[in-house]
Amino acid sequence: MSRPVHVIGASRSDFKRNLRKEGLALADVIVETGRAALADARVEPGDVGAGVVGNFAAGLYTRQLHLGALLVGIDGALRGIPTLHTEAACASGSIAVLTAAQWIAAGLHDLVLVVGAEQQKTMSPAEGSDVLAAAADWQAERPQYGEHMMPKMFARIAAAYAARHGLSDRDLAGVVVKNHAHARRNPLAQRRDAAMTTAMALEACEANPRFAPPLKVSDCSQITDGAAAVVLASERFARRGRSLALLGWGHTTDRLRLDDKDVPAFPLVRRAADRAYAMAGVQPGDLDAAEVHDCFSISELVAYEALGWAEPGGAAALVASGATALPQVRAEAGLGERPARSMPVNTGGGLIADGHPVGATGVRQVAEVFTQGCGEAGDRQVEGARTFMTFNMGGSMTTNVAMIWRAG
């Protein structure tokens, strides 16, 4: 990078909200979180040089596109700035962050506002599931998988993983229980009030059916409304206060169809991670905490191995050791309490328990590590954490974005 890039402010909405029931639209939550992020950064709207909105499917969920223009609603001083909307399925938010970072690194702007947002609670679950299927090759894979296509595709990934390495319900439950334990310490998480024990995650029943074998409903992220925002800046603004520096990134794209990928190794995820590590000059063992894309429990396990944190087949043992849980939740989650090293993952609950408003997720991950880096995470704080990774992906590990951050 030619110029350093910093996060200097962040905001997010409560992911438990239903915007439609509040009489609100996507524009309202974009304005709300964008305005709050600027206030958190202690900058004036007139200082913003450009803006990016990350969103997956507003045109289908709400019939609203041309989303960059919605940023102008934050303040009249933003009228006239360049804006755009990025779309890369569930990686739309991280692509928005990366776009802004590259503008700053290139010297085009000193301050860029990024908002990721999605309003999904606008239609029936079946209709919404078909919208989400657009993250894959809808023409080819919809006839192959049928309704509720994305859970079935990740069930296929789980089956491939099981055939190669072995996989039990308890392995998947470890991720589910850990992330719910983290969410209970996050006052803005969608499932902060939801009980989840190992016994509950293991039991296939009417309340928790095996929706896409071997995955149960508890293994899946939920339909979510919400937004997150971050303010990215050059050193000109970062000197004014707390900041999180972007050390490196990797961005790769695979073929769209799942059958055309190397499952479950996903080497293009590893390539993105390796590029981020190399640019940042760090190794996996240097990370203090991380956010990874757990749209389904199996995706978190696969990510551990593809990102270089566990050997092939070793992800479940890493979870069971307690290494990826906050120390303060290991006992209640039934995980090991004295792992060889500690690197909490998905400290706010991840997609499974914090929520997955698709276009907001990549931005929310950055907002979470910013909060951790500033020491402002409250009951879920990772003590002394300085170096973080965020990994956000779209489709079936199709678009992969890994970023490494260090607290100032």
Instruction: Give me the active site residues, please.
Output: 90, 356
Which residue, 78, 82, 79, is CA-closest to 44?
78
Q: 246 has which bridge partners? A: 405
The pair of structure tokens assigned to 204 is: 């296939």
In single-letter form, the type of residue at position 375 comes to G
- Partners of 10 in the β-ladder: 230
Report DSSP state, residue 240. T
CA 134/CA 358 separation, integer angstroms: 12
Query: In a 10 Å sphere around its CB, with 0-12 CB exposed, 13-18 middle and 19+ buried, how is residue 155 labelled?
Result: buried
The amino acid occupying position 276 is A
By residue count, the chain amounts to: 408
Do 154 and 215 form a contact (C-beta atoms < 8 A)? yes
Name every residue whose Cβ is closer than 8 Å to that of residue 323 and which is 6 or more positions away in sequence. Answer: 336, 339, 340, 341, 342, 343
Token pair recorded at residue 89: 């399925």
Tell me the two tokens of residue 290.
Answer: 């991380």
